[in-house]
Amino acid sequence: MTATVTDRTVPTLRRPHRGRRIAAALGGAVVVLFLVKLLLGSLTVTVPELLAVLSGETVPGVSFIVMEDRLPTALVGALAGAALGLSGTIFQTLLRNPLASPDIIGIGFGAATAAVTGMLVLGLQGPWLSVAAFVGALAVALVVYFLADSGQHTGGRLILMGIGAGAMLHAVMNYLLTSTDVRSAGDALHWLVGSLSNSNWERVGTLAAALAVLAPLTAFAATRLKVLQLGDDAAAGLGVDVSRSRLTLVVLGVALTAAATSVTGPIAFVAFLAGPLARLLTGGRTDFLCSALVGSALVLAADFAGSNLFGDTSLPVGVVTGALGAPFLLWLLVRSNQQGMGG
């Protein structure tokens, strides 16, 4: 009996160590992808040149490329990917459904529609665009959430409501794009694809400030999320205000999505992919740090691939992540249906 107990407890004791190893490996992958973005491209930058530029020296032809193009782009990509990874994991865990990511349940469309309205109708830019995206995403999230009986229905009903809301908002965006002048519509369309091409230091600051506030709050709220996974009755018995905790987590997830979307546009499927991939790597455990790192790695890898692997054609990051996410979504739908989890 002693041997049996020991054998059963070994995996439990090793899981935290495995989680740390996976997080360290993912962090290393993000650093490598970050450096690849800085060093490689149409103009190759050597490591000594990069170190010289980062130390403050002016290297003709290199300083501008690194400091005004590649470094802001890499920082925006890493920060936006982390925000989307955290947001997707919050919703998927809270609603206990791998399809319940901001991409699928209409929250991303809410942020995008509000941002496009602000851009084309109100002329909003910078922080005000972030505020508009947050308001739009929050409105859609609350409508879908409460129409699904405050999260009681986490299967097909909630997913279908989100898809319906997304379709309606997509129609609103199409109307706005067709009723404005061609130049403004072109700028909005480029933004709607999800791109890092307009990254600058102001956008880096916006995303960094948002994550500086939201990431610690998410880490704190994650403890409540673990309790909520035990069930509403068990969580209430442990002294957790279930309704308030759920609403707080929804607002945090919305804020993370809105912060990323307002800066980069709606980058498809990163929020949807990051959590499941992180759970796959950690043996089925929900790990927010790993989800954030997977999100960063996905965006950085997709941006580099879109910029360098298709010849003279440069693809926005949202096109590449969409191509990766769509087959995964189809596979997940087929798998869920086969297991009787379709809702």
pLDDT per residue over 267-305, tens digit each?
Answer: 988 999 999 899 889 888 888 999 999 999 999 999 999
Q: How confident is the model at residue 75 (pLDDT cuts 50, 70, 90)?
A: very high
Chain segment 9-28, per-residue pLDDT in tens: 333 334 456 778 899 999 99
pLDDT interval class at 335 (50, 70, 90): low
Specify the pTM: 0.85
- The pLDDT of residue 50 is 92
C-alpha angle 311/313/314, rounded to 5°? 110
CA–CA separation, 196 and 69 (whole Å): 10
Written as six digits, the tokens of 221 are 């709220």
Per-residue pLDDT band at 33 (split at 50, 70, 90)? very high
CA proximity to 40, closest of 314, 308, 331: 308
Question: Quick one: fold of 19-338?
Answer: ABC transporter involved in vitamin B12 uptake, BtuC (1.10.3470)
Mean of pLDDT values over 229-245: 71
Q: What's the pLDDT band for 4 if we cut at 50, 70, 90?
A: very low
**Would you state the pLDDT for residue 126?**
73
- Return the pLDDT at 42: 82
pLDDT tier at 32, thresholds 50, 70, 90: very high
Burial of 343 (0-12, 13-18, 19+ CB in 10 A): middle
Predicted local distance difference test score (pLDDT) of residue 99: 78
Least confident of 135-139, 147-151, 283-287: 147-151
d(CA 119, CA 106): 20
C-alpha 144/C-alpha 76 separation (Å) is 29
Would you place residue 118 in the very low, low, confident or very high pLDDT band (cuts 50, 70, 90)? confident
Classified as helix, coil or strand, 282 is coil
pLDDT bucket at 336, cuts 50 / 70 / 90: low
Q: Are 275 and 98 in contact (CB under 8 A)?
A: yes
Cα angle 293, 327, 143 (rounded to 5 degrees) comes to: 70
CB-side neighbour CA atoms (13 Å) of 164: 10
Where along the chain do its domains lie? 19-338
Taking 70 as the threshold, does the pLDDT of residue 232 lie above it?
A: no
| Three-state SS sequence of 136-152 | HHHHHHHHHHHHCCCCC
Cβ-proximal residues to 278 (8 Å cutoff; 6+ apart), any chain: 85, 89, 286, 287, 290, 291, 293, 294
Q: For 223, what's the count of Cα atoms within 13 Å in the CB-facing half-sphere?
A: 7
